[in-house]
Structures are given as C-alpha cells and as structure tokens.
Amino acid sequence: MDYSFSDVVNVPLCSEMLRHFYTASGIPCAFCGKDGSSLASAGGQTLCHHFHRKHPEYRKYCVASWEEIGRAIENGAEEYLHRCENGLMDGAVPIRVEGELLGYVVIGQFFLVPPDKTAFLDRARANHLDEAAYEEALRTVPVISRERADAALRHFRILANLIAEAGVHRRQMAFLNASLQNANALLGTQITERAKAEEALRRSEERWQFALEGSDLGVWDWNLLTDDVYFSPRWLEMLGYGPGEVRERFSEWYDRAHSEDREHAVKEAQRHIRGETPFYEARHRLRCKNGSYKWILARGKVMSRNAEGKPLRIVGTHRDITEQVQVEEDLRHAGTHDPLTGLPNRTLFNDHLLLAMAQARRNKTVVAVIFLDLDDFKEINDTLGHDVGDLLLKAVSKRLKKEVREVDTVARMGGDEFTLILPELHGRKDAEQVAERIRGAIARPYSLGDKVLEVSASLGVSLYPLDGRDVRTLMKRADMAMYRAKNDGRNLWRFWEENTETPRK
C-alpha cells in the first residue's frame, strides 16, 4: 500500500513536537518527505537557506551532502550523521512503513566544535557574499556535543519506529473494519438458503480472525444483554494471563481498569451505545497479572441490533500503546525541562513563579527570586572544554537541589545561569539565610573525574511583593542585583535595592 507522510501522521502535531524539541535542545530539526521536501520544521537554518543553497559554489556541496545521506539510508542505515563540505553537520533518521521509505527526520545544521570563524568569513568574502549578514547568520548556528547529537538521533529513531507502527496499524485496521462490516452485513441479511448463509459467515469470520492474529491486537466481544465478554488469547497474553485465568465477564475488564481512567472509558462506550459516536475509542490503563499497568488504545463498534434498533453486541480491539505514551510524556517533559541538567526551563519556572505569587497573596507570605550566575565559567569552558563544563553544570544543579526545600524550584535559564523560587517565606531574613547557604555550597570544590575544580557564584535576590508584583519585574530586579554582586567582587549575594540598579554589561 502506498503512503504519504500525511496519511500516517498528524502534521500539525509533528510541528508542535519539533517546536518543543527545539526549544528544549536548541537543535534545528524537520520532517521531510522522501523527495527531501520540508513538511514540518523548527529552528533556524539561516546560513544554508539564505546563503549556501543560493550560491553555486556552496550549493553543489549541499546537493552532494543530501545525496550522501540518501545513499546511506538506501543502504539500510537506521540513522546517519554527516559533515557537509560547507562545514556544517546534518543528521537523518529514515521513516519506513513495511520497508517503504516514507520520509526522514532531519536534524541540522549545527557544529560539533566551535567553527573557525575567520575561514568561513574569508570564503564568504571570496565568493562576494554580504560579509556582515553572513557573519550574523553564522552566529545563529548552534554548537552541540557529539553525545547530544547522537541522543537526538536516537530520540527521533524511536519516534520513527512509532510512526512506522502507526502506518502498519492503519492498514490492518482498514482490513479489519472491511471484514467486520462484511460479517455484519451477512449476519443482518435474511438468506433463504441457510447452508449458504452459514458458509459465507464462516469464511468471513476466518478472514476476520486472520486479520486480527496478524495485527498483534487483543480482541474483545461484549454481549450487552448478558454482560458476557469474550477475550482473545492475545488479549490475555497482553496482560500476562494464560487460557482460563480470566472469567468471560465485563467485570473482569472493569476491575482491571485504572481508577483514574475507568470513568472516561465507560462514558465513551456509553456514548457509542447511544449512537452519539460512529465508533468507540478510549485510551486507558489496564492492570496486568504482575500488578503493573499498561496503556491501552481501545476501539470498538456495535455490530448487531434488535428489531427496535437496541444494541446487542460490541466487537473491538485493544492495542498496547505503553511505549508510545512514554515517548509522548518524554516530549512533554523535554518542552519544560533543560536537557542537560533535567531542571525546569524558563517556561516551567515562570509557571511555578505565578503559582507561588498567587499562594503568597492568599497566605500573606513572601516569595524570594534568586538569580545565580557562575563566576568565570567561560574560562573553564574555554580551557577544559565543553564536556567538562557540562559535568560542572550538572554538579552545580545537584548541589542547588540539595540546598533547598521540596516546595522550592531550581531552574536553569541557559548557559551558566540558574534561578530559584523560594515560596512561603516570612521576610528578608529567611532569604538571606538561603542565599548564603547556596553561595557557600557552590564554592566548595568539585571532583569531576580526574579533575578537582573550584567555582563561585554571584547571586541577586528580589522579593515578592516588596520588589515587584509580576514575573518580569522580579526577574529583572534579581538579575540587576546579581550584577551588583559581581561588580562588588563576586562570590557574593545582593538584594535588589531602589536607585542601585546595575545594568547588564
């Protein structure tokens, strides 16, 4: 069966997933059709789009790079990372449905190491490009480690596998629906020759059973008059049971459905029984024999009614979507957390601060916002490398979390900047004690492999509602207080004070 990308996946949802991934990782990414056309993307590719692909001297290498990636994919590569002759890195993961190439997930462009800026600008000048605009575009290309690039490719390989599974499932469900409709038509038709009718029904049910056994779906058949339910061997196997271990009663499903999902699943079934929906569909968790839960996609349809139109029987399937739900959860987490440290990012930090301020208004308490910047971190990065810098940032994150309460929030804004929310304080003194404790904790030596490093931090503190009543004001004033701490000698903390604002340099 021929597929296009939009036949298998929801393109707007893919665009949203890419946007969250780019926000969390800083890595440009796109879904492309098998002809290379872009279907959804996130992150800028200004250098390639505005310069390399428009100039013949550069364009030939862009074409050669894409052809190299295509050959690797055709030869069976499940993921491929390639450096273009123009100096930029591209990565690709194929999306295949039953062996047929549907398209690609592409990451790029980016650098694995900081680029030789002089060489890039000399070449741009030699090809008569706008040097200032080219330099500005070059600055937008991210530098990421090989470890992060490989992790991004692995992430999208899992997503590609789920898309492939969706394509296979769509074909199987089309076959299943056609077979079920055929069986229902035969059952509902009055045929004078009974033997002929029974033979036709038997053949239809054989085709129906063949489709189900090849689809990895668990089948259920619910008699609405008696509440008896047939559960197929695959349905039992999915939950860890063998033949005869589950009674053929509706209560067997009901008792195993997760308490948080059961009401919704039953409600959707009732809506279909009343004729409000063309078919039944619900996602819910079912308890397995070992006590764990699996996420299930349930689908079904009323297959027979009496003379008055009252439903008599529903036939449907269960599909295990536990891995798919986990990937969705990982994507949601990636949109609100820093990929390096696992701390909340700016988006989640702002949400937490809004909640803390609302709570403080109700309880007449104080919220402290701390803006923390590591002193001379750039020198560590430049002399020891980004890998060591990343290890240090992770270690700092762990110390920060250790020094605060469960109700507090520690977030990473990017680079070497961290922010904290301290709710439920009673005044300035509480914030002073925490700020000094954090300053001392950060200044203790760090053992990172065979290296022992020391780093200090400058902290700025603003208080709600004393120093501001909105997120932007509190953040700005904490930032200014932090820069005053740096100007006063570093390894210090300072509160924001009126008429002592110190702008960023």
The least confident of 90-99, 273-282, 287-296 is 90-99
Per-residue pLDDT tens digits for 56-105: 889 998 889 888 988 898 888 889 998 999 889 999 999 888 778 888 89
Cα of 416 vs its chain's centroid, Å: 24
372 vs 147, residue with greater confidence: 372
Q: Could you identify the residue written with the tokens 């295990």?
A: 320
**Buried b vs exposed e over 200-235: b needs ≥16 C-beta within 10 Å?**
beeebeeebeebbeebbbbbbbbebeeeebebbebb
Is the pLDDT reported for residue 404 higher than 90?
Answer: yes
Q: Could you identify the residue written with the tokens 């839960």?
A: 293
Average pLDDT of the residues in 264-288: 94
Task: Quickly name the fold that domain 337-495 has.
Answer: Alpha-Beta Plaits (3.30.70)
CATH of domain 5-162: 3.30.450
pLDDT at 167: 64
Residue 340 has a CB neighbour count (10 Å cut-off) of 17
Is the pLDDT reported for residue 30 higher than 70?
Answer: yes
Is the pLDDT reported for residue 505 higher than 50?
Answer: no
Q: Whole-number mean pLDDT of the chain?
A: 86
Is the pLDDT reported for residue 24 higher than 50?
Answer: yes
Helices 11-25 and 322-336, packing angle to 10 deg: 50
Residue 419 has a CB neighbour count (10 Å cut-off) of 26
Any idea where the domains of the chain sit in the sequence? 5-162, 166-326, 337-495
**pLDDT band per the 50, 70, 90 thresholds, residue 504:** very low
Is the pLDDT reported for residue 393 higher than 70?
Answer: yes
Is the pLDDT reported for residue 257 higher than 90?
Answer: yes
Average pLDDT of the residues in 248-272: 94
Is the pLDDT reported for residue 346 higher than 50?
Answer: yes
Under DSSP, the state recorded for 246 is: S
Per-residue pLDDT tens digits for 101-142: 888 899 988 899 999 999 999 999 999 999 999 999 898 898
pLDDT at 311: 92
Per-residue pLDDT tens digits for 463-486: 999 999 999 999 999 999 999 999
pLDDT at 236: 93
Contacts of 224 (CB under 8 A, 6+ apart): 273, 311, 312, 313, 314
Name residue 320's beta-bridge partners: 296
Structure tokens at 185: 């038509």
Distances (CA, A) of 209 to 98, 212, 223, 232, 443: 21, 5, 18, 10, 68
The structure's pTM equals 0.49
**pLDDT band per the 50, 70, 90 thresholds, residue 161:** confident
Is the pLDDT reported for residue 199 higher than 80?
Answer: no
pLDDT at 100: 82
Name residue 372's beta-bridge partners: 418, 459
CATH of domain 166-326: 3.30.450.20
309 backbone φψ class: left, alpha, beta (φ>0; ψ -120 to 50): left
Distances (CA, A) of 205 to 186, 294, 327, 338: 11, 29, 36, 52
DSSP assignment of 201-220: HHHHHHHHHHHHHTTT-EEE
Pick from 432, 398, 436: which is nearest to 418 by CA?
Answer: 398
- Residue 270's Cβ-count burial label (10 Å; 0-12, 13-18, 19+) is exposed
Per-residue pLDDT tens digits for 165-182: 766 666 555 555 555 566
**Domains 5-162 and 166-326 in one fold:** yes
- Residue 465's Cβ-count burial label (10 Å; 0-12, 13-18, 19+) is middle
The least confident of 39-48, 234-243, 423-432 is 39-48
Cα–Cα distance measured from residue 127 to residue 424, given in angstroms and rounded to the nearest whole number: 61
Per-residue pLDDT tens digits for 200-244: 556 555 545 545 555 578 899 999 999 999 999 989 999 999 999
8 A C-beta contact, residue 55 and residue 127: yes
pLDDT at 177: 57
pLDDT at 169: 63
DSSP assignment of 388-410: HHHHHHHHHHHHHHHTS-TT-EE
The least confident of 148-152, 224-228, 330-334, 365-369 is 330-334
Is the pLDDT reported for residue 388 higher than 80?
Answer: yes
Is the pLDDT reported for residue 361 higher than 90?
Answer: yes
pLDDT at 328: 86
Cα–Cα distance measured from residue 288 to residue 258, given in angstroms and rounded to the nearest whole number: 11
